[in-house]
Amino acid sequence: MKKSIIESTNFDFDAVVVGSGISGGWAAKELTEKGLKVLVLERGKPLQHGSGYLGEHAPDWKLPYQGKRPRDLYAQEYKWSSKSGSMNEANRQFWNNDKDNPYADDEGKPFMWARADVVGGRSVLWGRQSYRFSAQDFRANADDGHGIPWPVDYEEIAPWYGYVEKFIGVNGRNEGLPQLPDGELQKPMPWHALEKTIESRLKKKAPDVTLTNARTAILTEDLPGRSACHYCGPCPRGCSTGSYFSSLSSTLPAAKATGNLTIRANSLVEKLEYDPETGKIAKVHVIDTVSGERQTYSARIFFLCASTVGSTQILMNSTSERFPNGLANSSGVLGHYMMDHTIGESGMGLFLDNMDSYFHGNRPTGLYIPRFRNVDGQDPDADFVRGYGFQTYTLRMDWSTGFNAKGFGASLKEDLRKPGPWIFVLSGFTECLPYEDNRMYLSSNKVDRFGIPQVAFDFEFKDNEYKLREDARKQADRLLKAAGAVVPVPAGRKNMSMPGESIHEMGTARMGDDPKQAVLNKYNQAHDVPNLFVTDGSFMTSASCVNPSLTYMAFTARACEYAVKQMAEGHI
């Protein structure tokens, strides 16, 4: 155990971290390992890694309602959480109760805000897709004029990507593509026979694309305290072997091992208290969600990691004479420039190849086709900027697809035992540009059960996002035909996801060099308040088309190193 490097005589803790999910866990790990006494505040309920995953391997007949969703309960209490396909009776305990913790979803424009309600946050529930932003992604705003320039480039962040990848364990295949930078990867997961067939055909008939492993934070090689995946299947129910990365299985135990960590669950952060004499945050105001008791804690530095919407809500509710429109908001951009990826099926194909091949186990990820549009400049046939990638899903039709077939007795049973054709699905993840009028705000007349103003949204996808989705639909059809699908089925022309559905909301407290245009500097430090850092999706200046969680983790680790140096040198 390291001794604290900061004298805490006048403070309750050296650092307060709000949120225990993907970025909060990393902040806890990095700060405690550097010797700071850290308090982690988590709105959700306590959850023990392993023993707390009550439905992990439970068969449906041992679950409430045989594992089925009780319609009335879900409609009344889980209006938004239940829209996620991974929520069910085996893991409902992990999810937010939208009736108890509502937001003003009838104001502005609709937005799906999916929340966890346990220690570990959404790191217990995420899809684990882990990709680096490319050099092109960091240059995009400056190159095409949408949004402000990033204050960092790929070369500056690359070492932090590698640092995070090695700790969390990302499996995949390096391809040497500039739009998909190589990483510190564990051995890739195996492919289905059909996928190898599709790969060989695409190399001949669609050489502009690369089919590769989805880079996924699931171990294929053991790490300390965590075992390689054994392909059991029920990932959304929790992973007691720690094979998939979560803060519960990885970063929080590392932080706890230092002896410098204190975690408080059921602790809702109401606001941060600004001290005009020092120009810093003095205290965090916390409400115990069980008892209703209110407390405050002081610290030298504060890390907001409560999710994009959660952290921005706290900043907006932390008003003062100096910051009447939200803490650290002299720029006026807090809450604006919100982004979210569009997702959804872009096409699927039926295949009759490799019918004599089957598989065993449940591979917990698919394959990936990295961005191939507008990579080397603007494609001449593209009426949009930026691009998209395809996440794939491969399945074999089985008895469940034919259980209503006509028949009786032994002959029907024999038919149902025979595997059917393969299905290969392409799901496009398209980039969303940063628009000033896409925003979140605090309702003027609605409060939650603790009197805190509820969040509301005014967000919509615009022309460029619709053009990206339409192009993804057309390209998916081209690729499925090139791959040899006997029945390619393109998605409908109106296949646009609901804002928030990808659960990749970001950008509401963006970073930038100019304090008049950004909330944070290049180290995730607030321009206006030197002891405040925000390292969840709030800081994002553009969205890329890849899943953003790896970027959150890399920037969090980097911000922690910077913050501790600033403290040691007396600047904070």
CA 212/CA 191 separation, integer angstroms = 10
Q: What is the distance between the alpha carbons of residues 147 and 140, in angstroms, rounded to a whole number?
A: 9
- For residue 26, what are the CA distances in angstroms to 204, 215, 216, 363, 464? 43, 20, 18, 27, 34
d(CA 551, CA 19): 17
The answer to whether residues 278 and 162 belong to one domain is: yes
User: What is the structure's pLDDT at 321?
Assistant: 96
Q: What is the pLDDT of residue 404?
A: 67
Say if 180 falls within a structural domain: no
Residue 377 domain flag: yes
- The answer to the question of residue 225 being in a domain is no
**Pairing mode, strands 294-304 and 532-534:** parallel
417 belongs to a structural domain: yes
Q: For the chain, count helices (H), then strands (E).
A: 10, 15
CATH no. for residue 278? 3.50.50.60
Closest CA to 118 of 54, 198, 59, 67: 54
Report the C-alpha gap between 7 and 434 in whole angstroms. 42
Angle subtended at Cα 306 by Cα 161 and Cα 100, rounded to the nearest 5 degrees:
145
Question: Is residue 471 located within the same domain as residue 570?
Answer: no
Structure tokens, 300:
């030298």
Q: Are residues 445 and 536 in the same domain?
A: yes
Do 273 and 358 belong to one domain? no
Chosen domain end from 495, 519, 548: 495
Q: Is the CB of residue 497 less than 8 Å from the CB of residue 342?
A: yes
- In a domain, residue 203? The reply is yes
- At 1 the pLDDT is 43
Long-range pairs for 179-184 at CB < 8 Å and ≥24 separation? Answer: 179/134, 179/136, 179/370, 179/371, 179/372, 179/375, 179/387, 180/131, 180/132, 180/134, 180/210, 180/212, 180/370, 180/371, 180/546, 181/132, 181/134, 181/135, 181/154, 183/132, 183/215
What pLDDT does residue 382 have? 96
Cβ atoms of 499 and 489 closer than 8 Å? no
pLDDT of residue 80: 93
Judgement on whether residues 538 and 416 belong to the same structural domain of the protein? no
Same domain, 331 and 403: no
Q: Which of 181, 138, 133, 140 is nearest to 385 (CA)?
A: 140
DSSP strand pairing (212-213 vs 267-275): unpaired
Give residue 389's domain range. Answer: 189-214+342-430+462-495
Asked if the structure places residue 2 within a domain, the reply is no
25 and 143 belong to one structural domain: yes
In a domain, 179, yes or no: no
DSSP H helices, 192-341, are 193-205, 251-257, 308-317
Could you list the mean pLDDT of each consecutive 10-residue stretch along the chain, which spans 572 residues?
A: 52 98 98 98 97 92 87 94 89 95 92 96 96 98 97 98 98 98 98 97 98 98 97 93 97 98 98 97 98 97 98 98 98 98 94 89 96 96 97 85 72 79 95 97 97 97 96 96 92 82 96 98 98 98 98 98 97 92
**What's residue 94's pLDDT?**
96
- Asked if residue 542 and residue 453 are part of one domain, the reply reads yes
Residues 355 and 376 reside in one and the same domain:
yes
Q: Are residues 312 and 354 in the same domain?
A: no
Helix ranges (H only) for 339-497 are 409-417, 463-483
Tokens of 243: 């094979």
* Number of structural domains the chain divides into: 2
Whole-angstrom Cα distance, residue 492 to residue 348? 11
Helix (H, G, I), strand (E, B) or coil at 298: strand
DSSP category for residue 306: S
Cα torsion angle, 102, 108, 109, 113, sign: negative
Give CA separation, 325 vs 58, 107, 328, 334, in Å. Answer: 49, 20, 9, 9
CA 435, 436, 437: angle at the middle one, nearest 5? 95
84/135 same-domain check: yes
- State the pairing for strand pair 453-458/294-304: unpaired
Residue 324 pLDDT:
97
Residue 227 lies in a domain: no
Alpha-carbon span 463 to 514, nearest angstrom: 28
With a CB cutoff of 8 Å and minimum separation 6, the contacts of 571 are 530
Q: Are 298 and 287 in contact (CB under 8 A)?
A: no
Same domain as 195, residue 160: no
Sign of CA dihedral 373, 378, 382, 386: positive
